[in-house]
Amino acid sequence: MRKTLLSILLVGFASASQAQQAALPTNVQSIVDRVMPQVVEWRRDFHQHPELGNREFRTSGIVAEYLQYLGMEVRTEIAHTGVIGILRGGRPGPVVALRADMDALPVVEQVQLPFASIERTLYNGQDVGVMHACGHDNHVAILMGVASVMAQMQSELPGTVMFIFQPAEEGAPEGEEGGADLMLKDGAFADPRPDAVFGLHVSPIPVGAIAVRKQGMMASSDEFKITVHGQQTHGAQPWAGIDPIVVAAQIVLGLQTIPSRQLDVTLTPSIVTVGAINGGVRNNIIPESVEMIGTIRTFDADTRDEIHERVRRTATQIAASAGATADVSIDIGYPVTANDSELTDKMIPTLRRVVGPGLVESPRVTGAEDFSYFAEEVPGMFFFLGVAPDNPELVFPNHSPSFFADERALPIGVQTMTALALDFLNGN
């Protein structure tokens, strides 16, 4: 398996580079071709040495050092380990931001690669393996490649490019802040303020494909906790108390009617999922309380607010009907990742130029992304880059210990982000 995967990587990289020659002007493409071996080397190094959110010390150090080598203005320690490089072009023009996330996941890698991760660390008090199971190693390497390309064109650029290397997209450690939201609080977009921001995410769709859609592309993600308070009694005498388990069961069923019966299902998909219920310690004792936790997902900001209100009302009123009470708390998570319609329409020809018929409309994805915070601040466009190998036995979803990214996608990623930045700056 090790030899087979390495062969795929090496052969695939060469074939993809040759297949995409028309994506950029010849002079720009020649620069891309020269930097690609270094991009592959970076990607493998980051993959072999993954770091969890807010702990990307090695990764951010390599990034910052290279951006400084390229002569950029470099800001470090933004949101703990974030790095921003600012490349000011030789001519006046707009400001465009390009973003890559750097963090890995507490997953033990099961892919037999020569550069597989064997890293371990502490996560929430537990000894865990660490792996780039979501492919952020590719994102960092791609954006470093774009930085290298554009630094060599600096005098020709009509405007400014911000290279944002973000920590903790997968979430900060317990008790800490992090990610895109904290970068913005730390002034990431203060000076200069970008006119647009672009981001990509590798996805197990075929190499050569790019998927994008306007408006809600990835869901908002909120956590809820409902604690039902009843009155403890003997299990053989339920009438002597108030059974919070039965009330909790009724609340679970009631919550399911929110997306299926209370919202206009033609507007946007929505999900209310109860992921855990805990209550009681013995078979013949009705407990005092029951706690349930779950997640809320949707693709529209107004619908998100409406669901929150309906969850609170459903839980409290069902509980009240049985003589119980319910405390409802909702932890606001990532917003909807919504692509600006005007910006997306403007940049679709750029994407099509890079991948031709490989450009497809993305389905809505119920996963969440904190690129959404950047896209709430300025017009944004986020897209999926296909990294699935041709062999279906090697295709696994993001966050799987067997997730495998085909390196044929790396030059496509560099070309796409470079083309988006150049076309936006030039007003194409």
pLDDT in tens, 392-403: 999 999 999 999
The secondary element (H helix, E strand) that includes residue 246 is helix 244-257
SS (H, E, C) 122-150: EECCEEEECECCCCHHHHHHHHHHHHHHH
Shared domain check, 143 and 61: yes
Tell me which DSSP letter residue 242 carries: B
Q: How many CA atoms lie within 13 A of 350 on its CB side?
A: 24
pLDDT of residue 22: 63
Q: What is the pLDDT of residue 428?
A: 74
Check which CATH number belongs to the domain holding 238 and give it. Answer: 3.30.70.360
The CA-CA-CA angle for residues 158, 20, 16, to 5°, reads 130
Asked if 274 contacts 255 with a C-beta cutoff of 8 angstroms, the reply is yes
Query: What DSSP string describes 370-397?
Result: THHHHHHHS-EEEEEEEEE-SSGGG---
Give yes or no for residue 366 having a pLDDT over 60: yes
**Residue 309 and residue 345 share a domain:** no
Q: Are residues 246 and 284 in the same domain?
A: yes
Same domain, 73 and 122: yes
5 has pLDDT over 80: no
Q: Where are the beta strands (DSSP E) in 68-174?
A: 73-78, 82-88, 91-101, 120-123, 126-129, 158-166
Confidence of residue 252 (pLDDT cuts 50, 70, 90): very high
Q: How many CA atoms lie within 13 A of 205 on its CB side?
A: 18
Count other Cβ atoms within 10 Å, centred on residue 102.
28
Question: Would the pLDDT of 7 be above 50?
Answer: no
Single residue among 285, 312, 331 that ends a domain in this structure: 331
- Domain final residue pick, 331, 346, 375: 331
Report helix angle 26-48 to 409-426, nearest 10. 130
pLDDT at 17: 44
pLDDT digits (tens, 9 = 90+) for 22-70: 679 999 999 999 999 999 999 999 999 999 999 999 999 999 999 999 9
Q: Which two tokens stand for residue 108?
A: 């033990």
Residue at token pair 């910006």: 343
> Do 327 and 408 lie in a common domain?
no
Question: Percentage of the chain with pLDDT > 90?
Answer: 93
Q: Are residues 22 and 139 in the same domain?
A: yes
What CATH number is associated with residue 129? Answer: 3.40.630.10
Do 159 and 291 lie in a common domain?
no
Q: What is the pLDDT of residue 63?
A: 98
Catalytic (active-site) positions: 334, 407
- Helical spans, DSSP H, in 259-340: 301-321
Structural domain for 307, as ranges = 220-331
Q: Does residue 175 come out as left (phi exceeding 0), alpha (psi in the -120 to 50 range) or beta? A: left
pLDDT at 132: 98
Question: Same domain, yes or no, for 164 and 254?
Answer: no
Q: How many angstroms separate the CA atoms of 387 and 38, rounded?
A: 19
Give the pLDDT confidence of 291-321 residue by residue, as tens digits. 999 999 999 999 999 999 999 999 999 999 9
Task: Report yes or no: 48 and 109 within 8 Å, Cβ to Cβ.
Answer: no
Do 112 and 151 share a domain, yes or no? Answer: yes
Are 181 and 241 within one domain? no
Q: Are 316 and 326 in contact (CB under 8 A)?
A: yes
Are 155 and 83 members of one domain? yes
> Which among 31, 28, 62 has a CA at the least distance from the CA of 44?
62
pLDDT at 352: 97
Residues 309 and 394 in one domain: no
**Mean per-residue pLDDT over the chain, rounded:** 94
195-237 pLDDT tens trace: 999 999 999 999 999 999 999 999 999 999 999 999 999 999 9
What total number of domains does the chain contain? 2
Cis peptide before 173 (omega within 30 of 0): no
* CA–CA separation, 247 and 325 (whole Å): 9
- Helix, strand and coil content of the chain, in percent to the nearest 5, comes to 40, 30, 30
404: its two tokens:
């495998």
Identify whether the C-beta of residue 230 lies closer than 8 Å to the C-beta of residue 289: yes
- Residue where a domain terminates, one of 331, 359, 380: 331
Pairing of strands 289-298, 337-339: unpaired
